[in-house]
Amino acid sequence: MKYLEESQRPWGKYQKFYQENGVWVKRVEVMPKTRLSLQKHQHRSEKWVIVHGQGLAIVDGREIPVGPGSVVDVPLGVVHRIGNPNDEPLVFIEVACGAYLGEDDITRLQDDYARPPKDK
């Protein structure tokens, strides 16, 4: 499959395979024993559908165990993260909706990889 965008991250990778005005769809793979930054977005909400593996999502301070078939709703502006404390990859489909979908719409509140608070 040809992707619109592929990106390696310290925690794994994502492949964007659909985008139109106001929405994108990505396949996100979180490697074992890693997690995304604790973050929020000013311009988009997200929904995550777990397709493989087990993990732990944090949404607005709530810890939510996730596995295949789980759906996680991340409303606009809410602090969130997802992590994979296990020994196999965690894979989910992310659907983001919003007026602006740039990667620079990330405000990191905590990051295991010492990246800057805002992406450029």
User: Does residue 95 carry a pLDDT above 70?
Assistant: yes
Residue 17 corresponds to which tokens in the numbers above?
């395979």
pTM exceeds 0.95: no
Strand-pair partners of 30: 12, 90
Looking at the predicted structure, is the pLDDT value of residue 120 above 60? no
Share of residues in the chain with pLDDT > 70 (%): 98
Q: Are strands 23-30 and 62-66 parallel, antiparallel or unpaired?
A: unpaired
* 54 φ, ψ (degrees, to nearest 5): -130, 150
Q: What is the CATH number of domain 5-110?
A: 2.60.120.10
Give residue for tokens 């994502």. 14
In this model, does residue 1 exceed pLDDT 90? Answer: no
Highest mean pLDDT: which of 1-10, 21-30, 100-109? 21-30
Give the pLDDT score at 119: 63
Task: Provide the pairing of β-strand 12-20 with 55-59.
Answer: unpaired
Domain ranges across the chain: 5-110
- Separation between Cα atoms, residue 76 and residue 46, nearest integer Å: 8
Across the chain, mean pLDDT equals 95
Please provide the DSSP assignment of 23-78 as one string. EEEEEEEE-TTEEPPEEE-SSEEEEEEEEES-EEEEETTEEEEE-TT-EEEE-TT-
